[in-house]
Amino acid sequence: MDAKLGMIWYPSIDDVIDVNIDCLDLTRDRHPHKLRGSREGIQAIIDKVRQNENKGLSCQAALLMKKLVEYHPFDGANHRTAYIVAKMFLRRNGKRMRVAKLETAYPFIRNLGNKTLEEVQGWIENGTSEEP
């Protein structure tokens, strides 16, 4: 599905879970993969993002990141998972996140819970937490 043709791709519950497993493996995190939340909770976040389609992809990606961090569905790598899932959402829909490397993104995403949706959206679009 292509956002340019009016069809927006959304991650599945399994996509989110797979990204978490990969984040834990790739960063050699000491936490084992464990789903603390529910599959339904993850689906509710995806549904909320889908309901905000009229606000644009970067807003939806920001919402996806914030909601995943707030829900904290896993024992570890929640912030990294939220970043990668949002990045995947944007890429699959023909957009790119301004900050492409996890190492560069981590200082911002580790404090994602303290950021407003507007700050996260601005960071996605501009690589900064300041509003454009």
Any idea where the domains of the chain sit in the sequence? 3-126
CB of 125 closer than 8 Å to CB of 117: no
Four-CA torsion 24, 113, 100, 124, nearest 10 degrees:
150
- The CATH H-level superfamily of 3-126 is Fic/DOC protein, Fido domain (1.20.120.1870)
pLDDT for 129 equals 46
Bridge partners (DSSP) of residue 74 are 35
pLDDT for 130 equals 41
Distance (Å, whole) CA 123 – CA 83: 12
Coil/strand/helix, residue 110: coil
pTM of the model: 0.88
Alpha-carbon 108 to chain mean position: 13
- State which residues of the chain have pLDDT below 50: 1-2, 129-132
CB of 50 closer than 8 Å to CB of 119: no
Distance (Å, whole) CA 59 – CA 48: 12
